[in-house]
Amino acid sequence: MKSLISLHDMAFLSRSHATDGWLLPTLARFTFAATLPVYFWASALTKLGEGIPGLIRPSLGAYAQIFPRQMEAVGYDVGQLGTFHWLVVLAGTYAEFLLPALIVLGLATRLAALGMIGFVTVQSLTDLYGHGGIAQPETLGAWFDRFPDGAILDQRLFWIFVLTVLVAKGAGPLSLDRALRVQVASG
């Protein structure tokens, strides 16, 4: 048994040391970049109003997505909502553009990933409780079952895991964070 453990350690521990610091954050950023930015950017585009004024005048759909119950209560009349709602909708819209872009570029990655964790949490809670009560079981999903494709509990757990790796490990060597750190250290 000792020789088997020694063989295992020789095979994997030396490789583990060789990948320390770069493999996990690089793969986490690649996974994020390959799967999530376009999803968030497409969602953000649906929240912008028409034309240039639409940059500060979100669409009706933006309010309905972010404040579904409040919008229903006011008969989908945005004019009945206040400045707080407008600011939250604008912040949410711009967060959907900015935070994924920062992660893809590897700039302020830890903060952007932390912001994305908060964003995904709020998004999930809105999906669960804001849109007509608790989501349907097939959408909600369940942990520790044989179905890994629930859009909320299952998929978003993977999203948050990838983002948590970035919070814990940073962006990795192929990032603007690293380039800036090298620049500051040399100058």
What are the structural domain ranges in the chain? 21-186
H-run or E-run covering 76: none
Alpha helices by DSSP H, the chain = 2-19, 23-35, 37-47, 60-66, 68-73, 83-105, 109-125, 137-140, 153-169, 176-186
The residue type found at 179 is A
Taking only the tens place, the pLDDT of each residue in 76-105 is 999 999 999 999 999 999 999 999 999 999
SS3 138: helix
Taking only the tens place, the pLDDT of each residue in 131-182 is 765 667 777 888 888 888 888 889 999 999 999 999 999 999 999 999 999 9
